Structure 1
Amino acid sequence: MHRHQQITPALAEDALRRANLRVTAQRVAVYRTLAEHPHSSADVVFSQVRESVPGIALPSVHNVLGDLVSADLVRRVSLPDGDRALYELAEPADNHHHVQCVVCGSVQDVECAVGHAPCLTPSDNHGMRVLEATVTFRAICSECERKQQQQ
């Protein structure tokens, strides 16, 4: 599962090359940001990346995220609230779900419900090969729960 991790520029560059992507300062910065801040929106990635890549524009961050998702280096996490996509590094053979606080919106990884991809088997796949099952557990985090009880 994803943990906050430090990725050196060399490791980020290697990942980009293995995915047959051209190495750019923008791509390295976005990749490294997601390693340190999983479950980040494009806006959060942008605010982090512009510290190391001054002059980068938000549309450029969206383009880089799209490139990294297409190359299977980054996973787009769609949540039930639907108001924003979050991004995290995609690790091979990593099969996990998410738990999201319905109050503050914080998102955490949780182990797969069964342990092997795709975790869940539909009652009818309509002739399709299932690649993944996305599960988001909706919850209230302990900090929000504590705040609610104090009110």
Structure 2
Amino acid sequence: MQTRTPIKVRGYHIDLYSHVNNARYLEFLEEGRWHFLEQQPEIDYLMTSDLGMAVVNININFRRGAFMGEELEVLTKLAKIGNKSALIQQQVVLKGTETIIVDADVTFVVTDQKNQKAVVLEGKLLELMRQWLISAE
């Protein structure tokens, strides 16, 4: 499933060049990922099993500035599952258009919260994440 998270550009998002500061896009993308996770089936499994999620890499491309008052949407989908990591693809677009403001590939791992180490994506966890992947197609 691809989710769409609305963001309205506010004054506190703007830098001295009158557009959204580049660091704010990381916050927009994080909001989109949280929204994505909240929409997934059985997400409570992660929350109750001493597992966490950690971003290990973000590749971001800035395509166009966003300005005060503009309405944006963060599009988020799970794109790939590996052995110990997975890839979420995201775009920030101008709402109601196909104008891309930012696109990003976000690699994350699932961690054992007690040991603070990445776990192998297998068993129930892999089954759960495959549901997220299938619903994105």
TM-score between the two structures when normalised by the length of structure 2: 0.29
The structure that has the greater radius of gyration is 1
Structure with bigger helix share is 1
Structure with more of its chain in strand, by fraction: 2
